[in-house]
């Protein structure tokens, strides 16, 4: 139920912000900056993917609709099958689903995605791809993707770089066994040296 509420709230937030921005800011209006020249409001119709990728391609819309719908179905069943304890991974997938659903609604109803948040990071890298427009759905997808990667690498119970309690217990057990074997070998060497010394003394006698 928590994941359903999160999903619904994110989709509603995306759709409401799009509706408000397009109701009050015309597509032909200049960018309204609200944090320096980095962030602003700039409404435009995006027929491509997130951040305007492939927006000029005629095949983009039907392909993106089909891929988004398929991805939603796959992620839905993935969330259902995941163990309840894998919360971080589940939240990341729910974010991906919410972002995909928000843009899918636009594509199905309007045949384009409403972008409204302008970002300009050319002060970091002077390149054209550092200036783009997006929306809440795109941001949610980005955050979800980052969380998904972090979950797979560090947080999830099966994370690549995470040592579980079993792994730690196994490592401690192996260290203890190694230490015990070393002590036994030391005792054997010591006993062997003692036997040789006794033999030498007997030969002298």
CA dist 94 and 71 (Å) reads 12
Is the alpha carbon torsion for 175, 178, 184, 189 positive or negative?
Answer: negative
CB count in 10 Å sphere of residue 116: 20
Q: Edge to edge, what strands does the sheet with 131-134 contain?
A: 32-35, 39-46, 113-120, 131-134
Given 14, 106, 138, 156, which residue is catalytic? 138
> 10 Å Cβ neighbour count for 89?
23
Contact of 75 with 96, CB cutoff 8 Å: yes
CA angle 13, 17, 69 (to 5 degrees): 60
DSSP 8-state symbol, 31: P
CA atoms within 13 A on the CB side of 48: 12
Specify the residue for token string 């002298």.
Answer: 204
Q: Which among 14, 42, 115, 120 is annotated as catalytic?
A: 115
| 115 catalytic per annotation | yes
Using an 8 Å Cβ cutoff, are 148 and 79 in contact?
Answer: no
Please choose, from the candidates 47, 48, 41, the residue with its C-alpha nearest in 3D space to the C-alpha of residue 22: 41
28 is catalytic: no
Catalytic site residues? 115, 138
């Amino acid at each position: 139920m928590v994941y359903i509420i999160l999903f619904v709230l994110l989709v509603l937030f995306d759709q409401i912000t799009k509706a408000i921005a397009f109701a009050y800011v015309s597509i032909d209006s200049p960018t309204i900056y609200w944090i320096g020249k980095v962030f602003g409001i700039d409404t435009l119709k995006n027929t491509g993917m997130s951040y305007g990728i492939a927006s000029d391609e005629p095949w983009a819309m039907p392909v993106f609709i089909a891929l988004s719908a398929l991805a939603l179905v796959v992620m839905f069943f993935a969330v259902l099958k995941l163990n309840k304890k894998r919360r971080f991974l589940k939240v990341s997938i729910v974010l991906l689903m919410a972002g995909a659903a928000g843009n899918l609604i636009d594509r199905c109803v309007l045949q384009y995605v409403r972008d409204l948040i302008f970002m300009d990071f050319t002060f970091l890298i002077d390149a054209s791809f550092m200036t783009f427009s997006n929306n809440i759905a795109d941001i949610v997808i980005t955050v979800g993707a980052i969380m998904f990667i972090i979950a797979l690498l560090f947080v999830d119970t099966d994370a690549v770089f995470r040592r579980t309690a079993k792994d730690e217990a196994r490592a401690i057990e192996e260290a203890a066994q190694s230490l015990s074997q070393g002590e036994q070998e030391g005792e054997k060497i010591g006993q062997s040296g003692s036997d040789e010394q006794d033999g030498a003394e007997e030969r002298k006698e």
